[in-house]
């Protein structure tokens, strides 16, 4: 059975992922599955930077407004609901674009919930340097983890090195981890596209986005949520923009201070996102202005 093809678009907050996904989905007959741990919540629109209504009318979006703010929404639940949405999209004969900045959701969807050891760049370089010819590392993998080797193409050097990396770091085959925590076989064939924005430009985009959220009525949105009876202690209410606004509404500090805190915390979050995604294998990174290159990569992937 052929695997479903996915385009996965990742990157830090305010990097332009959502707009790019809409453009790609329009061009390649697609629908979008969000991978954002805050956009799943209903009534939380401004602070989560959900796609604009016009974008959602142009292209169908899934896994947005999927839960109430007081519901638990785990990576396992995301995987289940996103998988269902993906199969429904394919049944309609359309292509699937997964977009978001919640790395755990994307990992759960594409690889299962086995996290394994983080990437070790030094070890990867060492393994790559030991590649003495076609099939050499693959033969090494067959010796230590024949089950994994049976599921990896000999020419897929990235995955061969990752499997050897896990074995070297843990003395345990990656196939054993996958049997315990993950899919027996990765269910999708994914083209992972990363949007890499120069730090100064990204921070300026974050500042502009936060200013726009304030003008759009973020404080009013948070007040409405509190008036609806949602506790400020909820996990959802602890999200970026919401926790800072709650402090302002509770007269703990000024609006100006709240805005500065949102900007500072969002910059820190973007840095954590990039740290996560840089550790992931198989992501092809593009600058935001390289749209034609991205389009060409997607076209080639879909064949």
Q: What is the pLDDT of residues 218-271, one digit of tens each?
A: 999 999 999 999 999 999 999 999 999 999 999 999 999 999 999 999 999 999
Is residue 9 helix, strand or coil? strand
Confidence of residue 183 (pLDDT cuts 50, 70, 90): low
**Cα separation, 212 vs 191, whole angstroms:** 32
Which pair of structure tokens corresponds to residue 14?
Answer: 């305010």
Write down the pLDDT at residue 211.
99
Instruction: Please check whether residues 192 and 52 belong to one and the same domain.
Output: yes
| Distance separating the N- and C-terminal Cα atoms of the chain | 18
Q: For residue 4, which phi and psi values (nearest 5 degrees)?
A: -75, 135
45 with 82, same domain?
yes
Say if residue 221 is in the same domain as residue 132. no
Taking the C-alpha atoms of residue 298 and residue 303, their distance in angstroms, rounded to an integer, is 8
Q: Which of 100-104, 109-113, 209-213, 272-276 has the lowest mean pLDDT?
A: 109-113
The parent domain of residue 156 ranges over: 121-181
Provide the 10 A C-beta neighbour count for residue 253: 13
pLDDT in tens, 186-205: 789 999 999 999 999 999 99
Please report the pLDDT score of residue 68 as a whole number: 99
Query: 103-111 vs 255-279: helix axis angle to the nearest 10?
Result: 30
> What percentage of the chain exceeds 90 in pLDDT?
74
The answer to whether residue 76 is domain-embedded is yes
User: Which CATH number does the domain housing residue 288 bear?
Assistant: 3.40.50.300
CA dihedral 113, 117, 123, 125 (to 10 degrees): 30
- Looking at the structure, tell me whether residues 58 and 192 fall in a common domain: yes
The answer to the question of residue 11 being in a domain is yes
Do 13 and 111 lie in one domain? The reply is: yes
Question: 234 lies in a domain?
Answer: yes
Task: Give CA–CA dist 28/296, Å, rounded.
Answer: 11
Q: Are both 169 and 33 inside the same structural domain?
A: no
What is the number of structural domains in the chain? 3
Alpha-helical regions (H) of the chain: 17-27, 53-58, 75-91, 103-111, 121-129, 136-144, 146-151, 157-170, 174-181, 199-216, 218-227, 242-249, 255-279, 291-302
Residue 155: which pLDDT band, with cuts at 50, 70 and 90? confident
* CATH code of residue 150: 1.10.20.140
Do 23 and 100 fall within a single domain? yes
Residues 54-63 pLDDT 10s: 999 999 999 9
Q: Are 63 and 85 in contact (CB under 8 A)?
A: yes
pLDDT of 116? 64
129 and 225 in a single domain? The answer is no
Same structural domain, 14 and 104: yes
Give the whole-angstrom CA distance, residue 59 versus residue 34: 12
> Has residue 57 been placed in a domain?
yes
Residues 14-51 have pLDDT tens digits of: 999 999 999 999 999 999 999 999 999 999 999 999 99
Whether residues 291 and 153 fall in one domain = no
> For residue range 111-146, what is the model confidence (pLDDT) as tens digits?
887 656 777 888 888 888 887 776 889 999 999 999
**Do residues 11 and 86 share a domain?**
yes
Q: What is the mean pLDDT of residues 65-93?
A: 96
Mean pLDDT confidence for 138-167: 87
Residue 276 is assigned to a structural domain of this protein: no
Quickly tell me which residue has 């000999």 as its tokens.
154
Domain assignment present for residue 255? The answer is yes
pLDDT at residue 293 in the model: 98
Bigger pLDDT: 52 or 152? 52
CA atoms of 255 and 167, how far apart (whole Å):
51
Q: With respect to residue 277, please indicate whether it lies within any of the assigned structural domains.
A: no
Domain with residue 244: its CATH number is 1.10.287.890
> Considering 181, 214, 231, which residue would you say is the last residue of a domain?
181
Identify the DSSP state of 74: -
User: Do residues 61 and 194 share a domain?
Assistant: yes
Please, what is the average pLDDT of the chain? 93
pLDDT of residue 57: 96
């Amino acid at each position: 059975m052929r695997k479903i093809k996915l385009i996965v678009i990742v990157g830090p907050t305010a990097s332009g992922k959502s707009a790019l996904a809409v453009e790609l989905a329009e061009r390649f007959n697609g629908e979008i599955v969000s991978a954002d741990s805050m956009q799943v919540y209903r009534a939380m629109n401004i602070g989560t930077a959900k796609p604009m209504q016009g974008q959602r009318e142009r292209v169908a979006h899934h896994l947005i407004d999927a839960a109430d703010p007081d519901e638990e929404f785990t990576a396992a639940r995301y995987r289940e609901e996103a998988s269902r949405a993906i199969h429904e999209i394919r049944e309609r004969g359309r292509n699937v674009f997964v977009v978001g900045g919640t790395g755990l959701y994307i990992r759960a969807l594409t690889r299962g919930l086995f996290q394994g050891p983080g990437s070790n760049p030094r070890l990867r370089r060492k393994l790559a340097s030991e590649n003495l010819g076609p099939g050499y590392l693959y033969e090494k993998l067959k010796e230590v983890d024949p089950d994994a080797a049976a599921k990896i193409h000999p020419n897929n050097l990235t995955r061969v090195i990752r499997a050897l990396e896990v074995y070297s770091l843990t003395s345990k085959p990656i196939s054993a981890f996958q049997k315990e925590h993950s899919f027996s076989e990765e269910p999708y064939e994914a083209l992972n596209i990363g949007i890499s924005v120069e730090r100064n430009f990204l921070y300026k985009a974050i500042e502009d986005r936060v200013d726009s959220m304030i003008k759009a009525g973020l404080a009013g949105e948070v007040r409405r949520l509190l008036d609806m009876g949602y506790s400020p202690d909820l996990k959802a209410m602890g999200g970026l923009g919401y926790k800072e606004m709650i402090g302002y509404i509770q007269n703990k500090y000024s609006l100006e201070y709240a805005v500065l805190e949102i900007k500072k915390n969002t910059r820190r979050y973007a840095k954590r996102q990039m740290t996560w995604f840089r550790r992931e294998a198989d992501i092809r990174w593009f600058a935001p202005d390289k749209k034609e290159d991205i389009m060409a990569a997607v076209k080639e992937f879909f064949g």
